Amino acid sequence: MSEAQKEKIKLTASWLNIMAAGTMVTGVIAPLFSLVYDFENMNAALVWRIPIGSAVLFFTSFVLHYGGNRILERLDCV
């Protein structure tokens, strides 16, 4: 495997990891802060949607991070 191919693998894994971090921040951390700091102004339906949506996006973030790790495992095979 050439050095260029190795770098492409690293960049792809890095991109997936950054996407995982972005998904975690926008889908889990930000809505939970919103829930905590603006709880009085929220209706009951929204209060239940935030944890459910956060759980889905947490799982999505985990899958993206795991995908990045799996891509990096290609470097070990060389």
pLDDT digits (tens, 9 = 90+) for 19-53: 999 999 999 888 888 878 877 777 777 778 888 89
* Model confidence, pTM: 0.79
For residue 76, what pLDDT is reported? Answer: 80
Scanning the structure block, which residue is given the tokens 């495997």? Answer: 1
49 close to 34: Cβ distance less than 8 angstroms = no
Scanning the structure block, which residue is given the tokens 């339906």? Answer: 45
For residue 74, what pLDDT is reported? Answer: 86
The secondary element (H helix, E strand) that includes residue 15 is helix 3-24
Ramachandran angles phi, psi of 71, nearest 5°: -65, -40
User: Percent of the chain having pLDDT more than 70?
Assistant: 99
For residue 78, what pLDDT is reported? Answer: 60
- Sign of the CA dihedral 29, 30, 36, 40? negative
17 close to 64: Cβ distance less than 8 angstroms = yes
